[in-house]
Amino acid sequence: MKKMATWLVAVATLGLQNAVQAQSTEIVQGLRFDVSYSLLNVTTPPSSYDPVGIRLGISKPMWGTVEAEGLVGMGVQAGKNSVNPALTTQVGGFFGGYIKPNFQLSPAVSGFARVGLASTQIKNGDTHNGLSAGLGLNYALDANMRIYADYTIYKFSDSVGISGLNLGVNYGF
């Protein structure tokens, strides 16, 4: 009886382990991770600043070629003022949630658009929330890895505009 109980526990543990592994593979399948270098532009008329940032993203296909995407980033270098170079500003943390339709242009090149909501903080303490949108191109290096460039506007406003040209690499499972 003791041998039978040990055997049943071993079989149940092995079955549970395989079920958890299959489920975790299902969760990761289709996920894409990316990292990019961001050339940012903070416009405060009549001048602008040119800080630099990094951005991380994760996306998952939801409906055919439409993905849900989350982005998070931060400024890593202050930008100089276009009118008075002695003045600088830096972007703090920024994040956004997007719907991202993709379209194939050729076997190796695809395009995408993104629209969603973003929150961006300037190091002077101002936080800007609102509509965010962008366009970009991917170039497939292999079945899983792509390089990309995109232009994303993080804040639309008459008083402050925040946008970025992003160059990055994207890896999918």
Residues 25 and 36 in one domain: no
Q: Examine the domain organization and report whether 19 and 103 are in the same domain.
A: no
Domain count, the chain: 2
Are residues 35 and 22 located together in one domain of the fold?
no
3-state secondary structure of 56: strand
Mean pLDDT, all residues of the chain? 85
In this structure, the answer to whether residues 51 and 5 fall within a common structural domain is no
Assess whether 47 and 125 both reside in one domain.
Answer: yes
Note whether 19 and 65 are same-domain residues. no
Residue 28: helix, strand or coil by DSSP?
A: helix
> Which domain does 97 fall in, by range?
31-172
pLDDT at 16 > cutoff 90: no
pLDDT for residue 109 is more than 70: yes
Tokens representing residue 55 in the block: 């951005």
Rounded Cα–Cα distance for residues 137 and 115 (Å): 15
Same domain, 25 and 37: no
Residues 60 and 1 in one domain: no
Instruction: Please write the tens of the pLDDT for every residue from 43-83.
Output: 888 889 999 999 999 999 999 999 999 999 999 999 999 99
Distance CA(127)–CA(97), nearest Å, equals 16
Kindly report the CATH number assigned to the domain that includes residue 91. 2.40.160.20
Which pLDDT belongs to residue 53?
95
Same domain, 19 and 67: no
Asked whether residue 17 falls in the same domain as residue 43, the answer is no
Dump pLDDT digits (tens) for 135-162: 999 999 999 999 999 999 988 777 788 8
